[in-house]
Amino acid sequence: MLIGHYAAAFAARRAAPALPLPLCFAACQLVDLFWGVLVLLGIEKLRIIPGFTASNGLDLYFMPYTHGLPAALTWSVGAAVLTWYFFPARTGRARVAVVIGLVVASHWLLDLLVHVPDLPLWFDGEKAGLGWWNYRVPALLLELALLWGALLACLGVMAEKRIRCLLLAGAMSAIQVMSLVAQPDQPVTMVMELLATHVALIGAAYWADRRASQRRMMPLAG
């Protein structure tokens, strides 16, 4: 799953409006960000096999430290604890910590829908996955529905940021479609592109989440 994960980020913003959107974007893809790093370090493994599924050629045959169920729970608890520790107490940090933990945990649950059985239930043992990636159009529609449904649900708390969020969602939808059209045939290239996409979207979330007053602020000439 790619842009469907960001549905959890927009839902989190509705549940806890004090949360910055870039933090929500980072949380929903935290598992994949670390997965990419571990793949580049040679710790987790993947192969690209053309036609492996109808949606992509990803054979994710070893990723227990990021996409295993115990690992996903560990990442979630760790993210919640760090959020509680660093977030200002006056903003209701217990609430935002729980929300961030749930956003991180949502990554595994949403992956469960689309992945073929490659999500370890315990280290590298029995694996789960409902396999929607085997159905190209339904999998695409699922991702789009998740993203747009969550975005429309949170527009009420976005105030003057609504237009930018809609533009961002449009760009994300285009990225999802393009990911089906052009896919790298080398694992390292695939991972680098995914990491760059996630980092760019976090930056785009910062742009979308800026207040109008921030955009108008210009340093005074001396």
Residues in Cβ contact with 144 at an 8 Å cutoff, skipping those fewer than 6 apart: 3, 173, 176
> Please, are residues 116 and 61 in contact by the beta-carbon 8 Å criterion?
no
DSSP string computed for 97-137: HHHHHHHHHHHHHHHHHHS-S-EESSTTSSEE---GGGSHH
- Reported as a single tens digit per residue, the pLDDT across 141-199 is 999 999 999 999 988 888 788 999 999 999 999 999 999 998 999 999 999 999 999 99
Query: Between 162-181 and 187-209, two packed helices, what is the crossing angle to 10 degrees?
Result: 170
- Reported as a single tens digit per residue, the pLDDT across 33-58 is 999 999 999 999 999 999 999 999 99
Look up residue 193 and give its two tokens.
């592109």
Q: What percent of the chain has pLDDT over 70?
A: 95
* Model confidence, pTM: 0.92
Q: How far apart are CA 43 and CA 2, in angstroms?
A: 22
Provide the terminal-to-terminal Cα distance of the chain, rounded to the nearest Å: 50
For the chain, give every domain's residue range. Answer: 3-212
